[in-house]
Structure 1
Amino acid sequence: MKPRSSLQIQKSVIFALVLREARARVGDTRLGALWMLLEPLVHLLLFSLLFALIRGRTVSGVEYPVFILVGLAPFLLYRNTALRLMDSLRENRSLFGYKQIKPLDTYIARVIVETCIAVTVYTMLLFGFAWAGFDMSIKSPLQWVANLLLGLMFALGLGMLLALITHALPSIKIVIRMAFFPLYFISGVLVPASYLPQAMMPLLLLNPFLHILELIRAEVLPHYTPVDGVSETYVISFTLILLFLSLGAYRARRMHLISTKNG
């Protein structure tokens, strides 16, 4: 048998992990696959109904369901990616007995699976909205994709850091999960950032999710203007620092992650 390079081995490992993660994510029944579509639909219907009762059917010149879908879909992708990476060490620790499999491989596999799921669900919703008569055109497709990928890199760095923190302190996982709930409100998922309390805006602008969602909406919605202070440079800088810290901490503790049963 021809010997394989380390890169070929890692590609095979990641491919096998992707198949394993996809099966675990979808489940052995159709209900698992159905829930991936139902989750964003439940969010959309619930918040659209509440917003219609309070403020009307449109916001920033577009129908509210379109507005919330543009921000909700990437937010769910980033949230799910970060939380799935946080649980990766515990759920895959039995695999680390194989020397070819490293914790970083499980991180990459989970990012790939979550991205594929999000793209599939968003595409289905996109065609469904278009069929229902909503305008689903994208103003700047290339910049929109670039901002989505930037947010995904941020979620990768955040998830890796959370995985390392919860590996050392497993008891704070519930606190981290609960912390994502208020992010719906302070990240502009449900309403434009300009609707948030202006007196708190300097503090709210410390949140990278707010910047990412504002930038994404500005590239999709034709008449949407991000709130003052939103900066792509801030997100890039924050993401690079986060990746540097998470990768540095991972390298320093990689043997400990493999040799213990924590996480």
Structure 2
Amino acid sequence: MALKRFDNKVVLITGAASGIGRATALRLGSEGATLILADRNVEGARQVCATAAAQYGVRADAIAYDAADTASARRMVDDALALHGRLDCLINNAGIYRRDHFANQTGEDWSLVFGINLESVFHIVHQALPALVASRGNVVSTASTAGVQGIAYAAAYAASKAGIIAMTKSLATEYAPKGVRFNAICPGRVRTEIGTGLQPIENQDPDIMVKPPKLAGKESGEPEDIASAFAYLASEESCFVTGALLVVDGAQTVG
């Protein structure tokens, strides 16, 4: 019998047009979630909505959202709430990855990565909090193993994901008395455009690059592997879990 952990639950997912966001939308849709999918690629988000509706019979709506634009972040939450008048789960997944030797990176590069990966999450959560308090809902954000242990050639990305981790733990502490849970997932190498699709940079040192997973038969994780983790943390099965970091990396960062 198929799980239906998200029947009568309204879930907002950012960065939902592809990769981990798409896989998570379809996984939660398969379990009955009413989906609101936000992405700068709104046509891609609409296609995911159409797939979820056709395969699982759920309602799914797409919203245009630019994570680099503060006003867009707050407007996106307002538009989502206007659709159903409630919000049970917020999944912060939109992100950007920039890679180069640190000496070549600029303040503009740093600000762009932080704006999209971290500041946008502040504005989204800030706007959504009243609805989440009302529903005693939860927030799950995409962090990264890079935010735990760092990563060569991507200091801004790692620092922004470390910020997600610190924000998650801080808000979990502050809002536990109100029944709102905050958790984060730390993917390792995943088969997405960001995870495995980037070209090498000039003169990169292979000895300090991210190592592949140690799990037998796995060169990388799949988006569906991360979606399964989202489905657990976003559901009531994890009702006693808050402030947690769930590492999903096939033993990439241990040993």
Which TM class, normalised by the smaller chain length?
0.3 to 0.5
Q: Which has the higher contact order (CA 8 A, sep 6+)?
A: 1
Taking structure 1 as the reference length, what is the TM-score of the superposition? 0.32
Task: Specify which structure has the higher proportion of strand.
Answer: 2
Taking structure 2 as the reference length, what is the TM-score of the superposition? 0.33
Task: Specify which structure has the higher proportion of helix.
Answer: 1
